[in-house]
Amino acid sequence: MSDVRSFVPEWVRSLTPYSPGKPIEELERELGICGSIKLASNENPLGPSPRALAALAAALADVHRYPDGSSFHLFVIYRLIVQAAGGVPRSVPLRDFTHDLPAMVRAVGPRTRVVFLGNPNNPTGTIFRRPAWEAFLAAMPDHVVVVADDAYAEYVDDDDYPDTIRVRGDGKVPVVTLRTFSKLYGLAGLRVGYAVAPPAVIDVLGRVRQPFSVNSLAQVAACAALDDDDHVRRTLATNRAGMAYLTAAFDRLGLAHVPSAANFILVHVGDGGAVYQALLRRGVIVRPMDVYGFPAHVPGARPGDGRSPGRERALRRRARPGARRHTPMSASEGYR
């Protein structure tokens, strides 16, 4: 593997990572002491506001929801990241609603530095499989970093699905795997996730990331969630049952949909914007797909949402007499 640091500007490589000092718990564990007082970080000696604590406690039941703040565009962020960094984004059309990995290889040029891949892809829910992934890595030049966004990986039930943490080619191309606690673990409101990458990449990221980028409550909740196997099993079972219910309902209604390996389904409804507005007026919140290049689609109700009345309401709205039946757009119209 080439030295990733050679691609990084000198002003980044020369940064000294922020050293926050030891947490009280770590200090006391190492020294065998107790009752420590931390003065190094200018913290409030009175602790948090009682009202803030009460508000936090009241909000915990909704911690699986995304916070306000334009999270609507969360998964079209790749283009914004590239533009904010002064790069030139290049999108490769989907093929059969799935990443066209050979076409992505052909789109890579000498100035390409990062390739983003969502698997499962959002909003289509489709996946590429291990042989395609391995061929993609083998064909990728070593001046490119491949970022595998595996936010929905835990939902996939396919023996050929590539675990990008373990399946990383011959090491020639740096692979950064992104995982989140927002989906399966239901901690979207805490904004916590992690990356797995070669040490050189982690070293560079550590020089530019903000200090304390994951808050303490998020850390505690994430660690606890990893140990909650029962919650994971129940979540996956709920998702399987919900996906089966929705696909059967869409088939019964004659609504074409994209086979999904995640916890959502992309449904063809003709005029996605109109359906979005109609559902919104009935208290059913979906998402218009224009920004993704799918104006004729909406995402099906999330089967893991747990609000079956809303799911039923959405299906009743789509089943109204006179509703038009459509087939999906052609593969050439897909967009990423």
Going by C-beta distance under 8 Å and a sequence separation of 6 or more, which residues neighbour residue 24?
36, 38
98: three-class secondary structure by DSSP: strand
Comparison of pLDDT for 176 and 291, the residue scoring more: 176
pLDDT bin (cut points 50, 70, 90) of residue 317 is low
| d(C-alpha 23, C-alpha 92), whole Å | 45
Domain parsing of the chain, residue ranges: 7-13+48-214, 229-329
- Fold topology of 7-13+48-214: Aspartate Aminotransferase; domain 2 (3.40.640)
- pLDDT at residue 70, rounded to an integer: 40
- pLDDT tens, 239-278? 898 889 989 999 999 999 999 999 889 999 999 889 888 8
- pLDDT at residue 42, rounded to an integer: 45
For residue 117, the cross-strand partners are 148
Reply yes or no on domain 229-329 having CATH 3.30.1360.200. no
The string of DSSP codes covering 105-153 is HHH--TT--EEEEESS-TTT-----HHHHHHHHHHS-TT-EEEEE-TTG
- Give all strands of the β-sheet with 193-196 in edge-to-edge order: 114-118, 145-149, 175-180, 193-196
Going by C-beta distance under 8 Å and a sequence separation of 6 or more, which residues neighbour residue 154?
183, 184, 232, 236
Task: Report the percent of the chain where pLDDT is more than 70.
Answer: 76
- pLDDT at residue 66, rounded to an integer: 63
For the chain, the farthest-separated pair of C-alpha atoms sits apart, in whole angstroms, at 74
- pLDDT at residue 218, rounded to an integer: 83
- pLDDT tens, 210-226? 877 888 788 888 888 88
- pLDDT at residue 254, rounded to an integer: 93
For the full predicted model, state whether its pTM sits above 0.75: yes
